[in-house]
Amino acid sequence: MSGETVYHEDFPLETTRHGQAETAYFTFCYSPIRDENAKVLGMIDTVMETTEIVRARQRLVSESERYRQMFENAPGFMAMLSGPEHVFQYVNPAYSELIGFREAVGRTVAEVLPEAVEQGFAAALTETRQTGEPHSALGALLTIKGPGGASFDRYVDFVYQPIKNACGEVTDIFVSQPTSLSVVLRRVMITRVTA
C-alpha cells in the first residue's frame, strides 16, 4: 500500500491436497492500484503456482549431485574439456593424480599440460572435435614433467568421446580411462588380428 511493487518468487506454502499435506510453491506479485491522482487505492495480487518448476529444479540438482559423486568416485580417470581450446571444465581425483595434481579447471590443455601438446595428445583432441568421432589409445606414452625438471613416464589407455549438442556440433570432449574389461577384450582382439 506504500506504492511499491512487491515480488516473491517460489514462496513455499503448506497446503492440503487430495487429503494429504504437502509443500506447494507460488510466485506472488503485489502491484498497487492508483486513482487518477496517483493515490494508492488498493492492490492487485497476481499469483502463479510454480510447484512443478521448483520440484523439477530440485530433481535436477539432486541428479547433478549424484553424477558428481559418481564422477568423483570413479576408479578411472575422467575429465571434461570444452571449446576449441580444450578448457578443463572438470577433472576427477584420478585424473588430477595422473597429471601430477596440477590446477586444471578453467585452464586449457596447453596451459596445464604443454608436454602433452608436444606429444600429440592435443592434436588428437582437435581431430575428435573436428570429425565428431571418438579417439582411443591403448598404452600411449605420456611423459609428465615433475617439479625440479624430473620426468615421469605414464602409459595410459584413454578415450576422447565427443559430446554433441542437439544440432550435432561437438561442444565438449569427455576424456576417460576405459573400463578394464573393455581394455582386456580389445587387447585380445588386437592380439588375434596381429597373430
Which ranges of the chain would DSSP assign to H, the alpha helix? 51-73, 93-98, 109-112, 114-118, 121-131, 180-194
Give pTM, 2 decimals: 0.67
- Lowest pLDDT segment from 79-83, 125-129, 177-181: 177-181
What mean pLDDT comes out for the span 63-84?
A: 90
CATH number assigned to the domain with residue range 74-194, chosen from the 4 options 3.30.450.20, 2.60.120.560, 3.40.630.10, 3.40.50.2000: 3.30.450.20
Report yes or no: 105 and 80 within 8 Å, Cβ to Cβ: no
* Higher pLDDT, residue 113 or 192: 113
Please give the share of the chain, as a percent, with pLDDT higher than 90: 73
- Dump pLDDT digits (tens) for 9-45: 999 999 999 899 999 999 999 999 999 998 999 999 9
Mean pLDDT of the chain: 89
Domain ranges of the chain: 6-65, 74-194
